[in-house]
Every structure is written in C-alpha cells, then in structure tokens.
Amino acid sequence: MASTILEMKNITKVFPGVIALDKVNIRVASGEIHALVGENGAGKSTLMKVLSGVYPHGTYTGDILFNDKVVEFKDINHSEHLGIVIIHQELALIPHLSIAENIFLGNEQAMAGVINWNKTTVRTRELLKKVGLTESPNALVSSIGVGKQQMCEIAKALSKEVKLLILDEPTAALNEKDSDNLLQLLLELKNQGITSILITHKLNEIAKVADTITILRDGKTIETLDVKKEGITEDRIIKGMVGRDMTHRFPERTPKIGQVIFEVKDWNVFHPEHAGRQMIYDGGISIRQGEVVGIAGLMGSGRTEFALSVFGKAWGKHITGSIVKDGKELKLASVSQAIESGIAYSTEDRKQLGLILIDDIQHNTTLASLGKVANGWVLNENLEIVEAEKLRKSMNTKCSSIKQKTVNLSGGNQQKVVLSKWIFSEPDILILDEPTRGIDVGAKYEIYTIINRLASEGKGVLLISSELPEILGLCDRIYVMSQGRFTGNLDRAEANQEKIMKLMLGAPVAPGKGN
C-alpha cells in the first residue's frame, strides 16, 4: 500500500461567481478503497469531473499525478484510456439493449466496423462472472433489477481495463442486500489490485469497506482519516463534514399523541400491468394525531405501492379495502379527492414525480392547491407570491428567489420545495416517501425538524424510509412490510435494528401487536 496511484494537488476550479474547489488535495494509495465524503455541494462531484476529464485540463488549476506522472486530460476518453473509469449516480445503461451490447457500447468488439458477436458474448460472460452475475449476456438491461444493473456498470468498467474505479453514490438506489453485494464486490476488486474511490452519503458503508477517508467541505479538503489506525465513528465523520459536533443526529421531540385520525383496513392492491399479480395483501395501518408512524421495508416490499394506492388510487388496480379518516369512511377515486380530504403524499422520486423542474419555486409550491390562491378560476398571482415566500422562509429554502427554477436547486432544497407544496395543501395526514434520500447531513437534520414540527402541530405523519436509524430516530411507532404484507407493528420502545431487519426479511413474525 506504499505506492501512490493518484495524487491531486492544489486543485482549484472556479465557476462564474463560485469557487467550487479551493486548493483541494487528495492522495490515493494503490490498491485501497478511498472514501470521499462531504455534504452536497462540498465539491465531490466537481473534483471527480476534474479527475475524469469532464472538465479538461486548462479549465482548472493544480496538478494531477497518476502513477507519479503529471497527466493533462483532454476529455473523458483520454482518462478512460489510462484506466480511470467513473460510474455516475444515474445509471448510464440503455434499457432496451442487452447486457452485452451495453457493456461494449462505444468499445465494440469489431473488425472494420463489423461487430463480432461471438467474441462479445464470450467476453461479457467472463466479465459478468467477475461481478457475480449469472444473467445471460443477451438479457435486456430493463429486465434485471437496479442492483444488477449497477453490477453491469462495474462489469463495463472492468472491460475497459480499469485501474482506478470511481463510484458516485453507487448504492443510493439499492436496497440493503444489493448494497452489501456491491460493497463485497469492491472488496474483491481490491484484492485483484483495483483501486476505488467511493463517494457516498451512507456512513455505515464507509465503516464496512473504506481504508482511507477524505472529507471535503465548502470546496476545501478538511482532513484525511486512516480508518485502520484510528477508530473512526460515524459521529467523527459527520463532525468533519458539517464542521460542528453533531451529538444528536435527530432533533428532540416530546410526542403529544391524540386519538386515531386515520385508518386503512383490509387493503388489497393488484399490479396495474401484470394481470393477477397481487402487490399488497390485507394491509392495514392506523395513525394517531401528532404521531410519526414509520414504514420500514426493503425496496420492492410494497411500501411505495401501498402509499400511492391509498393516495387516491394513484397506483394499482382492483384496489379493495376501506380508508377511515376522523371516523368517516372516505371513497377516494382520484389524487385531487385525496388532497381535498386532507391527505398529502411526497414522492420518493422528487425529480421525476415531485417537481416540475423547468418551472420555478413559486409555481411548484402552489401547484397542489391552486384554489387557495385563486378567486374561483382566476389566480391571484400576488397572493401566490406572498404564500410561496412565506413557505420559503419557514422551510429555509436556499435560493436566489422564489422565481428560481427548481432544476437549479440542490437535492435538499428541492425536497424542501416538495414539502412546501404539501404543507401548503394543509393536510392532516402527510405521507413522506424517502424524504431524505440523496440529500446531505445538514439538510437531513432540517427535514427531520420539519417532520417534528408537523407532528407537534397535530398532523399525522407516515414516514417511509430505507434508513433504519432514521426510522428508529424519528418514529413513535413502526410498521414493517415484507413482500406486500405487513409483518410487524412495533412501538418505539420495543423496536431495534435487528427486530426490524428480521421482519423486513419476512422472518417469522415476532410477537408484536399485529394489525
């Protein structure tokens, strides 16, 4: 581990008006897994774009040394040629092409422009074996899960004879099991001498695999930690990232819980496209006033499908069961009826499903309740601006003004706009699906504070999350789902990670209250 494969010295990158990177230094030893952490906007992605040649030599200052030689990349092909491959957060695979076609896309196994399919298939099979996949090279990428798609991305990197592999939040969209597989693969690749740089928000992953950690904050290198030498705790890393001691990752709250205000009973939902495939079996939950209720479950357990089907049948077919709110049974046939009945659902996919990205904060904030800023059919834009501005202040959304397009906001601020929209609809029940996915530690804390505030105002909050610490830290009561069934209903006092994990995996139900 003595030799250094990569060294970036005094890297400074300036965008108009912003210094994105300010004399950043990073040194990566050969054959290690190097974690790069920092809040969103700290400069991680920019640094990796400088490294991979997306920002070519000349647009930044400072030196990059690869295997002790100064390199000046012109573009991304140039860096790939030397064995530096970056795998972006958003997968770059083409769904309607096969695995083999994807892996050799742009690097086709061809003679004089004619593709040698036999060679392609054979080589793909070898590569898939390396990453632990048994899929046929001819299977379409769209037919395999997200976790396996991520593995294909790595196989693609291996096909380019990668020496330094950069992964930008590779597990953001993966469930626990797929994440573990991926981390395991990184360790195996390490044994084969491949160096990795891992960008992640999930601190527990760092503890599992990283040898060294470099922390960035506000475009500067804060520190480099050696995991083996020092006992690194998550709190220690967070302190470096946010520049303050975070003894409490979750804000304090004294729950004031009232009567049951919302109940779903005997809920059955079928898949809208695959005929006869049942997705939710006899589901049921109840939410009390001022209560934060969690739903834990692996991806694919039916959490989102359950929430969407309750939210005015926005998903699913042949939905049966009853919804009771404030003692009255509701018949919800559409999303607008659900909103009018005081139910809000904030989606897990804020870019695709949550926001009109080309539109501004103001319009996004009021979209779900335009009637509140209109006289009859006619909008009162001045009133709309006043209301949107109020929410921007109370949510502490960072932006140039409420006329800023949401596409230009950071993930945390986008999430605040989505929450603003639903808070503006003045719901009694808020369903929050993965409200902190992909956003940084500081913004997470703010979102948690908002959740607590909503509960203290007497609303019922249903929190769906993949992060167990989050569920345990925020919820008064926790439902667990596994393969479309509710497998547990635990009080805060009796819940812990192991119990929930068992229920999530569908293990025999521990004696809980049931439903």
Partner 1 sequence: MENLARLFRDNIRQYGMVLALLFIVGFFQILTGGILLNPLNVTNIILQNSYILILAIGMLLVIVAFQIDLSVGSLAAFVGAISGVLMVTEHMPFWLAMIVILLFGALLGAWHGFWIAYVRIPAFIVTLSGMLLFRGLTYVTLQGQSIGPFPSEFQLISSGFLPDVFGGQGIHITTLVLSFIASIAFIWSEMAKRSALKKYGFEPLSLGLTITKLVLILLALNAFALSLASYKGIPNVMILLTVLILLYTFIANKTIAGRHIYALGGNEKAAALSGVKTKRVLFWVFVNMGVLAALSGMVFAARLNAATPKAGTGFELDAIGACFIGGASTAGGIGTVLGAMIGALVMGVLNNGMSLLGVGIDWQQAIKGIVLLLAVTFDVFSKSKG
Give me the residues that bind partner 1 (CB under 8 A), please.
311-312, 314, 334-336, 338-339, 345, 347, 352-359, 363, 367-371, 374, 377-379, 381-383, 385-386, 421
- Closest contact distance (angstroms) between CB of 382 and partner 1 is 4
Which among 248, 291, 294 has a CA at the least distance from the CA of 468? Answer: 294
Of 267 and 311, the one with the shorter C-beta distance to partner 1 is: 311
Of 16 and 58, the one with the shorter C-beta distance to partner 1 is: 16
- Closest contact distance (angstroms) between CB of 344 and partner 1 is 10
Which among 504, 441, 371 has a CA at the least distance from the CA of 216? Answer: 441
Of 295 and 339, the one with the shorter C-beta distance to partner 1 is: 339
- Closest contact distance (angstroms) between CB of 383 and partner 1 is 7
State which H helix or E strand residue 371 sits in. Answer: none
Q: Is the dihedral of CA 401, 407, 411, 415 positive or negative?
A: positive
- Closest contact distance (angstroms) between CB of 357 and partner 1 is 7
Q: Which residues contact 12 (CB under 8 A, 6 or more apart)?
A: 19, 21, 22, 23, 24, 60, 61, 62
Pairing between β-strand 343-346 and β-strand 429-433 as defined by DSSP bridges: parallel
State which H helix or E strand residue 187 sits in. Answer: helix 176-191
Of 212 and 346, the one with the shorter C-beta distance to partner 1 is: 346
Angle formed by the axes of helices 381-395 and 411-424, nearest 10°: 120
Of 230 and 359, the one with the shorter C-beta distance to partner 1 is: 359
- Closest contact distance (angstroms) between CB of 368 and partner 1 is 4
Of 217 and 421, the one with the shorter C-beta distance to partner 1 is: 421
Q: Which residue type is seen at 392?
A: R
**Local structure of 397: helix, strand or coil:** coil
- Closest contact distance (angstroms) between CB of 330 and partner 1 is 15
Of 48 and 388, the one with the shorter C-beta distance to partner 1 is: 388
State which H helix or E strand residue 51 sits in. Answer: helix 44-52
Q: Which residues contact 255 (CB under 8 A, 6 or more apart)?
A: 290, 291, 292, 455, 476
Of 93 and 339, the one with the shorter C-beta distance to partner 1 is: 339
Q: Are 80 and 117 in contact (CB under 8 A)?
A: no
- Closest contact distance (angstroms) between CB of 310 and partner 1 is 13
- Closest contact distance (angstroms) between CB of 167 and partner 1 is 29
**Distance between CA atoms of residues 139 and 58, nearest Å:** 42
- Closest contact distance (angstroms) between CB of 185 and partner 1 is 33
- Closest contact distance (angstroms) between CB of 487 and partner 1 is 27
**Distance between CA atoms of residues 108 and 95, nearest Å:** 18
Please tell me the number of Cα atoms within 13 Å of 213 on its side-chain side. Answer: 31
- Closest contact distance (angstroms) between CB of 358 and partner 1 is 5
Six-digit token string for 302:
């039916």
**Distance between CA atoms of residues 199 and 196, nearest Å:** 10
Of 15 and 61, the one with the shorter C-beta distance to partner 1 is: 15
With tokens 């030196």, the residue in question is 63
Of 70 and 370, the one with the shorter C-beta distance to partner 1 is: 370
Query: Which burial class, exposed, middle or buried, applies to 106 when counting CB atoms under 10 A from its CB (0-12, 13-18, 19+)?
Result: exposed
Of 338 and 475, the one with the shorter C-beta distance to partner 1 is: 338
Of 247 and 352, the one with the shorter C-beta distance to partner 1 is: 352
Six-digit token string for 449:
């504070």
With tokens 């001819």, the residue in question is 138
- Closest contact distance (angstroms) between CB of 202 and partner 1 is 27
**Local structure of 201: helix, strand or coil:** coil
b/e per residue 199-229 (b: at least 16 CB within 10 A): bbbbbebbeebbbbbbbbbebbbbeebebee
